[in-house]
Amino acid sequence: MTPDKPRLRMAPSPTGSPHIGNIRTAVFDYLYARHTGGTFILRIEDTDRNRFVEGALEEMMYALRWMGMQWDEGPEAGGDFGPYFQSQRLDIYHQYADRLVEQGRAYRCYCTRERLEEMRKVQEAAKLPPGYDRRCRNLSKEESGTLAQENPNPVIRFAMNRDGTTELDDVVRGHVSFRNDLQDDFIIIKADGFPTYHFASVVDDHLMKITHVVRGDEWLSSAPKHVQIYEALGWQAPVWVHPSLILDESGKKLSKRSEAQTRFLSYIEDGYLPEAMLNFLATMGWSAGEDRKLYSREELIEKFALEGITNHPAIFDLAKLNDLQGEYIRMLAVEQLADMIQPRLQQAGYIGDSLAGDDISYLLRVTALIQDRLVLLNEAADMVSYFYSDEFEYDEKGARKHLAKDTTPAILKAVISKLSDVNSWTVGDIESAMRAVADDLAVKAADIIHPTRMAVTGRTWGPGLFELMEVIGKSRVVARLERCAGGL
Ligand code: GLU
């Protein structure tokens, strides 16, 4: 019986830190479940004991929650279809494997590692396609008995249909057909008693009443295995959805790139916002059919349809992510942004653990000044360094260009003298004073502004000069100008 509402699962194997591609798939699962009022399930595919990585599951749960994608069923959430860890469902897999053996759709294979190795070599030498030669597919009782003495821990293999084709309809790929004579009798239960992915995922998807299987394109070639298991057990297959691979800008598979680019947690550490990541990942390989870049979570949920998943490779466009991120940073209230950068400034030693009233208003003023240019939260500490510390470095090139000229001392002295007379230290009065210096010396405003910016901030770029001078305060500004007025 099919449930009336879609049920989708994310089924990570805890074999490493979550990959950006895993999270993109989860975004599609989550958005479709929320769009339809369905259920988003987290199932842990931990049947490969050799590849188990301590902490991988915790990182996955952290990543999903950080994205605001809380699962409805699964670890720490419970649900009626548990356990949600495959390692706790071994009995269930054995029950169905036995059933397939009884039906003649699966068989015990006693081939030793040595024999399989030998077989592979012969196939290779004869340039034959690799695959199991089905020696154990039709053994008599006696033959099985003899072989069992040689190898008491047989695996169980699925007996694939050998004639005709296996067909399926995929939401992204359309109708797909696979030749059965090219399929292998793959293992469903390993010698250690654990199921393989192919078997466990089908059994679980059926028992957990999964209606839509969304998973990376790399699994499409395995789909005939899954389709035949569904048929053999008399079960209805789910709707298949295989979104395209993610490629980098140069057209290479993203998974081949450095870990820094594919490890999802590094985006959290860099200070991307969940809203920006959600918007970015949702629109990487999915489109609502309109020319639009910004979508709030609610809008994505409202608009997300499986038909909008594109069948050409999705490109991981970092410039687009940074552009989105900037947009989301600018949408924040200054108080929110200040809250986000506060721990990073504490870490840098610019502020203490608890801030008093004046410190808070200073932080808010500083934050407001960098909000226009800030992209990553972890760039904030560097961007505000000169607001908090007088001991900053001077950008070498900028200093050579703007502070090392013969005219610099005279210009800075004139600026100091004019600023000392400014009584109300406001943007407007600072600006008038600076322009007056330019007039007095008969030079362009830029000839005054550049050296002043270098002297006050140590760099050639940043927020508006008069604005930042106002925030830094008269005495500190003048002291910094004096430091440079004697030449560097
Ligand atoms: N455990 C598989 C993986 O992590 C899941 C694939 C699927 O969604 O079926 O890649």
Of 199, 225, 241, the last residue of a domain is 241
Instruction: Please report, for the domain that includes residue 351, its CATH number.
Output: 1.10.8.70
Instruction: Confirm whether 372 is domain-assigned.
Output: yes
On whether residue 261 sits in a domain, the answer given is yes
Last residue of a domain, one of 193, 210, 241: 241
Give CA–CA dist 132/117, Å, rounded.
10
pLDDT score of 257: 59
Per-residue pLDDT for 129 more than 90? Answer: no
pLDDT of residue 486: 79
Give, for 22, the enclosing helix (H) or strand (E). Answer: helix 20-36
Q: What pLDDT sits at residue 75?
A: 97
Considering the domain boundaries, does residue 388 fall inside one? no
Nearest alpha-carbon partner for 453 in 414, 406, 395, 405: 395
Residue 63 is predicted with a pLDDT of 98
Both 236 and 100 in one domain: the answer is yes
Q: Judge if 221 and 100 occupy the same domain.
A: yes
Q: Based on the domain organization, do 212 and 285 belong to the same domain? A: no
User: Which region among 94-98, 102-106, 401-405, 457-461 has the lowest average model confidence (pLDDT)?
Assistant: 401-405
Q: From CA 307, how far away is CA 276, in angstroms rounded?
A: 23
Going by alpha carbons, the residue nearest to atom 4 of ligand 1 is 12
CA 235–ligand 1 middle distance (angstroms): 20
Ligand 1 centroid – CA 42 distance (Å):
11
Distance 13 CA to ligand 1 centre (A): 7
Residue 205 lies in a domain: yes
Active-site residue flag, 209:
no
The string of pLDDT tens digits covering residues 193-231 is 999 999 999 999 999 999 999 999 999 999 999 999 999
Check whether residue 73 and residue 149 sit in a common domain.
no
| Domains contained in the chain, number | 4
Cα 252 to middle of ligand 1, angstroms: 21
> Do residues 422 and 449 share a domain?
yes
Query: What is the per-residue pLDDT for 2?
Result: 64
In terms of domains, do 102 and 26 share one?
Answer: no
What is the share, in percent, of the chain residues with pLDDT greater than 90?
Answer: 90
Structure tokens at 331: 């949408």
Average pLDDT, the chain: 94
Domain assignment present for 83: no
Q: Tens of pLDDT along 404-463?
A: 988 999 999 999 999 999 999 999 999 999 999 999 999 999 999 999 999 999 999 999
pLDDT value at position 360? 94
Q: What tokens appear for 69 in the block?
A: 């994608």
- 401 and 378 share one domain: no
Give the pLDDT confidence score for residue 255 in this predicted structure: 66
Mean pLDDT across 117-127: 93
Q: How many CB atoms lie within 10 A of CB 212?
A: 21
**pLDDT number for residue 1:** 56
* CA 193 – CA 154 distance, rounded (Å): 9
Question: Is there a single domain that holds both residue 379 and residue 406?
Answer: no
Answer whether residue 197 is part of any domain. Answer: yes
CA dihedral for 142, 144, 147, 149, sign (positive or negative):
negative
Range of the domain at 144: 89-241
How many Cα neighbours within 13 Å face the side chain of 459? Answer: 14
**CATH code, domain carrying 52:** 3.40.50.620
- Ligand 1 mutation target, pool 201, 204, 214, 262, most atoms within 8 A of CB: 201
Residue 26 lies in a domain: yes
Phi and psi (nearest 5°) for 136?
-90, 5
Q: What is the DSSP letter of 109?
A: E
Comparing 486 with 460, which gets the higher pLDDT?
A: 460
Spatial distance between the Cα atoms of 427 and 32, rounded to a whole number of angstroms: 50
Give burial (CB, 10 Å; 0-12/13-18/19+) of 366. buried
pLDDT tens across 312-348, in order?
889 999 999 999 999 999 999 999 999 999 999 999 9
Rounded Cα–Cα distance for residues 284 and 24 (Å): 8
| Amino acid (one-letter) located at 275 | E
Nearest to 453 by CA among 375, 386, 369, 361: 386
Let me know whether 420 and 379 are in one domain: no
Catalytic residue among 5, 252, 256, 293: 256
Residues 237 and 253 in one domain: no
Residue 346 burial (CB count, 10 A)? 15
Q: CA–CA separation, 381 vs 114, rounded Å?
A: 60
- Best mutation site among 215, 227, 240, 262 for ligand 1 pocket (most ligand atoms within 8 Å of CB): 215
* 97 and 194 belong to one structural domain: yes
12 CB within 6 A, ligand 1: yes
Q: Which residue has the tokens 């007056």?
A: 436
The confidence score (pLDDT) of residue 452 equals 97
Euclidean distance between CA atoms 240 and 384, whole angstroms = 50
Q: Domain check: are 175 and 201 in the same one?
A: yes
We report the CATH number of the domain holding residue 481 as: 1.10.10.350
